[in-house]
Amino acid sequence: MQTLINRFFKYIKIDTQSDPNNEAVFPSTEKQWDLANLLVKELKEIGMQDVSIDENAYIMASLPSNVDYKVPNIGFIAHMDTSPDFSGTGVNPQIHENYDGKDVVLNEKENIVMTTDYFDDLLMYKGQTLITTDGTTLLGADDKAGITEIMTAMEYLIAHPEIKHGTIKIGFTPDEEVGKGAHKFDVEKFNAEWAYTMDGSQVGELEYENFNAAGGRVIITGKIVHPGYAKNKLVNSMTIAADFIKALPAKEVPEHTEGYEGFFHLHTMKGEVEETELYYIIRDHDLEIFEKRKALFQKVADDLNKELGEDLIKVTIKDQYFNMRKKVEPVMHIVDIAEQAMKDLGIKPLIKAIRGGTDGSQLSYKGLPCPNIFAGGHNFHGKYEFVTVESMQKATEVIVKIAELTAKKYKN
């Protein structure tokens, strides 16, 4: 457990926030190289083979098979960047040993408290070693917990050759949080038949379905004149933006949806009279409904333009990723192996759909089927993020068990 803590703390103290506005550059922030270079050094130190890092900061490594029969190469993948939505600079983790099940004071000076009434997931971890933020940054468990677990599992397998396994491939990616994590991932070079992203939340999560996703950008053009002489002349782009927002279904937003329900999420907005920009993320698990959502998004703009008498609203919709279920279902044995690994370790599998996406969704469409497994963190992308050491330990054990079960499955 102390190895996990030390390794996790080392990673989260390195700021690796990605930048959604730097679309042409990989990685989108120079500081992601700081963690990438550390991981390359560490992979070599623990004894991994074929360690490489390319010009875009994609890291790959291999643990050779220790059996004398053919076993499919499998992989484990995690991402290095943290969300651009909340500060990852100066992370100062707090350890709460033998968590007592009560509200957690993150920052006494600022009166920042994580309450069990609001964050009832905390109660699942009573008695465990809780790691939280100090209330001023995110934690970075998404996905440095995943990296910690993969590194620790590989180190354990190297130290315990009595555990039989086939060849295991490791991949660490940049820019997952801005939707580019798999864009330049070389599936052929990775050379695995399937893989697992360690990027889920609660202990037991096992996911092979995710949202279909698109980004919708809305640019609204206005005209500014002196407000004292504005009648029939001034066109306020911000009030038109308000009409656009109100025209979309009010209840089909993240705060009113769950399970398989999709949504329109106004992610960012900035505006003045002359121009307002809205950025939405559009999500749905069902591909047909997803296409209808995109069509409705465009129709709202078209209808408002007709009312206005000119095309003041311009919409751009860009697909981001698709539901991996289509690519994983033909090879469901890879989910079955992970499910059995959890059961063998006394973990109740929670097989459900991701209300989001992972690198695995894009990788599945690139020819690398890639379900998602829990990494243990909660409340990602903000100051209330937390993880327990016991959750990371269980995730590490699942990685080891999957490697072991895969070798057993293909033994002659």
- Average pLDDT along the chain: 96
The model's pLDDT over 255-294, given as tens digits with 9 standing for 90+, comes to 999 999 999 999 999 999 999 999 999 999 999 999 999 9
Please report which confidence band the pLDDT of residue 239 belongs to, taking 50, 70 and 90 as the band edges: very high
The model's pLDDT over 360-406, given as tens digits with 9 standing for 90+, comes to 999 999 999 999 999 999 999 999 999 999 999 999 999 999 999 99
Specify the pLDDT at position 328: 96
Alpha carbons 74 and 66: distance in angstroms, whole number: 14
Count CB-CB contacts under 10 A for residue 239.
13
Q: So where are the chain's domains?
A: 2-210+323-409, 212-321
Q: Under a CB-based contact definition with an 8 Å cutoff, are residues 355 and 186 in contact?
A: no
Specify the pLDDT at position 370: 96
Alpha carbons 350 and 342: distance in angstroms, whole number: 10
Count CB-CB contacts under 10 A for residue 146.
31
Alpha carbons 5 and 77: distance in angstroms, whole number: 20
Question: What's the count of helices (H) and strands (E) in the chain, helices before strands?
Answer: 10, 17
Read off the pLDDT of each residue in 307-327 and give the average, rounded to a whole number.
Answer: 95
Catalytic status, residue 284: no
Q: 356 or 45: whose pLDDT is higher?
A: 45
Specify the pLDDT at position 23: 81
User: At residue 102, does pLDDT exceed 90?
Assistant: yes
Angle formed by the axes of helices 141-159 and 389-409, nearest 10° = 50
What class is the 212-321 domain? alpha beta
Distances (CA, A) of 130 to 64, 125, 322: 35, 8, 34
Whether the bond into 143 is cis, omega within 30 of 0: yes
% of the chain residues with pLDDT over 90: 94
Read off the pLDDT of each residue in 212-232 and give the average, rounded to a whole number.
Answer: 94
Q: What are phi and psi of 343, to 5 degrees?
A: -60, -40
Burial level of 58, CB count in 10 A (0-12/13-18/19+)? buried
Catalytic choice (42, 134, 176, 199): 176
Q: Under a CB-based contact definition with an 8 Å cutoff, are residues 253 and 355 in contact?
A: no
Specify the pLDDT at position 356: 81
Please report which confidence band the pLDDT of residue 52 belongs to, taking 50, 70 and 90 as the band edges: very high
Catalytic status, residue 188: no
Domains 2-210+323-409 and 212-321 share a fold: no
User: At residue 412, does pLDDT exceed 90?
Assistant: no
Specify the pLDDT at position 128: 97
Alpha carbons 140 and 133: distance in angstroms, whole number: 9
What kind of architecture, by CATH, is found in domain 2-210+323-409?
3-Layer(aba) Sandwich (3.40)
Catalytic choice (15, 19, 42, 81): 81
- Residue 17 is classified by DSSP as B
Specify the pLDDT at position 268: 92
